[in-house]
Amino acid sequence: MAKNCVFHIDANSAYLSWEASFRLQQGDSLDLRTVPAVVGGDPSTRHGIVLAKSISAKKFNIQTGETLYSACQKCPGLIIVPPNYTLYRQCSDAMVEILQEYSPLVQRFSVDECFLDFSGMELCFKDPIKTAYEVKDRIKNELGFTVNIGISTNKLLAKMAGELKKPDMVHTIFPEEVPAKMWPLPIEELFMVGRATSKKLRSRGIRTIGELANFDLKLIKLFLKSHGVLIWNYANGLDYSPVRKGGSLEVKGMGNSTTIPFDVEDRRNAHLVILSLVESVSARLRQASLLARLVSISFRTNEFYSSSHQRKLFNATDCTDEIWEIACKLFDGLWDNQPLRHMGLRVSELCQNDFYQTSLFGKNFAKRRKVDNTIDVIRDKFGSSAIFRSAFLYSGLHSITGGVIENEDYPMMTSLL
């Protein structure tokens, strides 16, 4: 066994699996993993996107990221479950607690993925492969959901190994196994090769990871620059990024976006869409005990023209009305009356809310923050639709939109190459 040993642990269909496990523990007789089911959006209006899907849903060609409306067209009997981010964080934390029993170096890669540095831990535990099976089975038996574990000498190969076959599996791709296990895979399977990069590679006859690995690096650099060097190294199984200890999810920002079911052509409806996004984002800020110091707004027209704008705040806030007013001002200064089909809002530069600085010169939102907290309590107890603003009556818009934690909220794997 090589000196360096890295595990990549990935929860299978995380959101849906965690929902299923929780519901079974609460006495529900239906296991969502055994039927066509998805997590995402609003089940009552079928607005939003698919965040996670069951294996049965995959048989209907339902894709992560597609609209709920499209998914329901493919499978009329599809079960839709709204996301529960508090539950997902608890499940993620529980998984990390088990992993930390096997190594002091555990790095979160996302809410459902971790790297574990097992180098030298053979002195305390069994053979790494046997230990991986033990970890996998403990998570399954103690927490009620399954994971895939990939094993190799670096993070890149461990992650690629974990993706080979799912669910509930342990795989290895050690350097000597790269030609047999990784090179035959389609180029799209390589980490950091997205749709645009894949198109450029395929246009030059590079269809598999092996063809990229054996391609002339000088030619790769001509049309992919430094990113080409990165993926060429990855194709050859080279990665020197260390497993960095990180026991908590450091949220850097929160954001929501929505595709609107009709063209928004007037300012009032546009402001309502922004409000529906702010309602969700600000509630998540308060739930996480965070304040935001930067507000960003974005939109895309029906002709796919995109624009965005942001503003730094004098005082950090989690107040719904305050964030909404700022977002509306940003929007008004950016919009040229084009019909809109997609809008997004993001808050970042977050800080803890244990010290709140009120403004001496602006509006005092202290009373509105108290109202926000009261509304949060009501919605937590009776559901998100228990109380909403009258402005949404007969508007055709949902009063709370989105809720997706964006990928950049979590640290990405970095390479020194």
Phi, psi of 79 (to 5 degrees): -90, 125
Q: Which of 113, 279, 322, 325 is catalytic?
A: 113
Q: Where are the alpha helices (DSSP H) in 82-216?
A: 85-99, 128-143, 155-162, 178-181, 195-202, 209-213
The percent helix, strand, coil of the chain (3-state, each to 5) is 40, 20, 40
Give Cβ neighbours of residue 368 (< 8 Å, ≥ 6 apart). 319, 320, 321, 322
In 3-state terms, what secondary structure has residue 259? strand
| Alpha carbons 154 and 178: distance in angstroms, whole number | 12
Check if 322 is active-site.
no
Distance, in Å, from the CA atom of 331 to the CA atom of 317, rounded to the nearest integer, reads 19
Per-position pLDDT tens, the chain of length 417: 447 899 999 999 888 999 999 999 888 889 999 999 998 876 665 566 788 899 889 889 998 878 888 889 999 889 998 888 788 888 998 999 999 999 989 988 878 899 999 988 777 777 899 999 999 999 999 998 999 999 999 999 999 999 998 889 999 999 999 999 999 999 999 988 887 889 999 999 999 999 999 999 999 999 888 889 999 999 999 998 888 876 445 567 788 888 777 788 899 999 999 999 999 899 888 888 888 888 999 898 877 777 888 888 878 889 999 999 999 999 999 898 889 888 889 998 887 765 445 554 456 677 888 888 888 888 878 877 788 888 888 777 777 775 444 333 333 333 332
- Residue showing tokens 């997205």: 194
What does the pLDDT read at residue 409? 37
Q: What is the value of pTM for the model shown?
A: 0.65
Tell me how far apart the alpha carbons of residues 146 and 142 are, in angstroms, rounded to a whole number: 10
Provide the H-helix boundaries in 236-266.
none
The pair of three-digit structure tokens given for residue 317, joined into one six-digit string: 């806030």
